Amino acid sequence: MIVGLETSCDDTAVGVVSQGVVRANRVASQVPVHQRFGGVVPEVAARNHLLTVLPTLEAALADAGIAPSAVRGLAVTNRPGLIGPLLVGVHTAKALALVWQVPLVGVHHIEAHVWAAMLQAERPTLPFLALAVSGGHTSLYRVEGPGQMTCLGRTLDDAAGECFDKGARLLGLGYPGGPEVDRLAALGDPGRFSLPRGMLGRNDGAFSFSGLKTALRLLVERLVAEGAAIEGQLQADLCASFQATLVEQLVRVTGEVARAHGLPDVVLAGGVAANRGLRAAMHDFGHRHGLRVWPVPLGLCTDNGAMVAGLGEALLEAGLRDDPDTLDAVPTGALRQAARAAEV
Ligand code: KG4
Ligand code: ZN
């Protein structure tokens, strides 16, 4: 039984994984706390993590039906993320590792998102290509194993989740906007408005979403100036057109990189991988181009502790671990940490 702690942003999450099977996955969401600010306030998030981390751990152990003595290892997101929130998880994990006398490993948040694809009965074949799409990241990785991930492409400006959230705000929707856009897009006409589709003709794994965001802003301003109210069917059509354009770019660039690097297994990971339009479009593209598409199971797309425990279990099995006296929280952390690279 491996316990994973995740506190890098606004969710306090604890998961329990054993042999790649999720035994518990508790998330204490702070969405109601940050909603009135329209985004995450780091200091407020850190203080809430302090209040919720131990009760969430207790609840997860109860869900898994185990006592602390059954825990064989601990994993914690120690990079990248908001420094205050990260520190709460890292220090909690270090203290628990010392008290429980179990090995500890720090994990990279995005790598944990990607590794969540392995927490299902049927798994992608290594090496695979992973599209990691979250609130802060939009990147493509070649994944060869736990701790072995190489970046093949990334966004030049906004992350896809950030674009969803900013677009949602322009359309009068609340925070976080991605799920709301997803819901309304299903009711709208994706062909009603034509928006810029990113950097067509570039073939290097680069994404760009700032032009789309600006075009949506100008479109909304024009519609409002013409007297339209952004609600009802118009709002749904705007959501559908905006989502379809964003998704089209994600699928196109991912498909290009999969072909260029000869990687037929494609994982979709991160909060935005929960998007129904993206999952459907990527499956459809896969059918047409001979790719096997592996979206992370729906309950494991947005931030959670099971993904941290899952990657932690794989890293510990590979012999990797961190010293509970020295493990640090690193806001901009690299994929592979220097100290661990020496051990590999
Ligand atoms: O991975 P995640 O939970 O946290 C980060 O590491 O950032 O991703 C959160 C992001 C937010 O931008 C949220 O709007 C987006 O994922 N998101 C979605 C959906 N569910 C969450 N975006 C589009 N469609 C969804 N269904
Ligand atoms: Zn995340």
- Encode pLDDT of 252-301 as tens digits: 999 999 999 999 999 999 999 999 999 999 999 999 999 999 999 999 99
Query: Ligand 1 pocket: which of 131, 139, 164, 279 to mutate (most atoms <8 Å of CB)?
Result: 164
Helices (H), 36-176: 42-64, 83-100, 109-115, 160-170
Confidence of residue 129 (pLDDT cuts 50, 70, 90): very high
Given the CA of residue 8, which atom of ligand 1 is nearest to it? 6
pLDDT value, residue 340: 58
pLDDT value, residue 339: 55
Task: Compute the distance between CA of residue 142 and CA of residue 153 in angstroms, rounded to an integer.
Answer: 10
Give, using CA atoms, the residue closest to atom 1 of ligand 1: 271
Cα 177–Cα 256–Cα 334 angle in degrees, nearest 5: 65
Residues 1 and 306 sit within 8 Å (Cβ to Cβ): no
Kindly report the backbone phi and psi dihedral angles of residue 307, in degrees, each rounded to the nearest multiple of 5, phi listed first: -65, -35
Residues 323 and 72 sit within 8 Å (Cβ to Cβ): no
- Counting ligands in written order, which one lies closest to the CA of residue 176? 1
Picking from 341, 319, 318, 338, the residue whose alpha carbon sits closest to that of residue 328 is 338
Give, using CA atoms, the residue closest to atom 10 of ligand 1: 135
The yes-or-no verdict on residue 333 having pLDDT over 90 is: no
Task: Compute the distance between CA of residue 48 and CA of residue 70 in angstroms, rounded to an integer.
Answer: 28
Given the CA of residue 159, which atom of ligand 1 is nearest to it? 12
Residues 164 and 272 sit within 8 Å (Cβ to Cβ): yes
Mean pLDDT computed over 53-61: 98
Residues 177 and 168 sit within 8 Å (Cβ to Cβ): yes
Task: Compute the distance between CA of residue 16 and CA of residue 72 in angstroms, rounded to an integer.
Answer: 11
Confidence of residue 201 (pLDDT cuts 50, 70, 90): confident
Mean pLDDT computed over 24-35: 93
If one counts every other C-beta atom within 10 angstroms of the C-beta of residue 96, the result is: 21
* 32 compared with 21, residue with greater pLDDT: 21
Given the CA of residue 303, which atom of ligand 1 is nearest to it? 3
Q: Is the CB of 9 under 6 A from ligand 1?
A: yes
Mean pLDDT computed over 302-328: 97
SS3 letters across 195-256: CCCCCCCCCCCCECCHHHHHHHHHHHHHHHHCCCCCCHHHHHHHHHHHHHHHHHHHHHHHHH
Percent of the chain with pLDDT over 70: 98
Task: Compute the distance between CA of residue 15 and CA of residue 5 in angstroms, rounded to an integer.
Answer: 7
Q: Is the CB of 242 under 6 A from ligand 1?
A: no
Per the DSSP assignment, residues forming a β-bridge with 72 are: none
The yes-or-no verdict on residue 178 having pLDDT over 80 is: yes
If one counts every other C-beta atom within 10 angstroms of the C-beta of residue 288, the result is: 9
Task: Compute the distance between CA of residue 222 and CA of residue 71 in angstroms, rounded to an integer.
Answer: 58
Task: Compute the distance between CA of residue 197 and CA of residue 102 in angstroms, rounded to an integer.
Answer: 49
Given the CA of residue 176, which atom of ligand 1 is nearest to it? 14
The yes-or-no verdict on residue 186 having pLDDT over 50 is: yes
Picking from 103, 47, 112, 56, the residue whose alpha carbon sits closest to that of residue 80 is 112
Give, using CA atoms, the residue closest to atom 3 of ligand 1: 302
* Tokens at 221, concatenated: 């301003």
pLDDT value, residue 344: 39
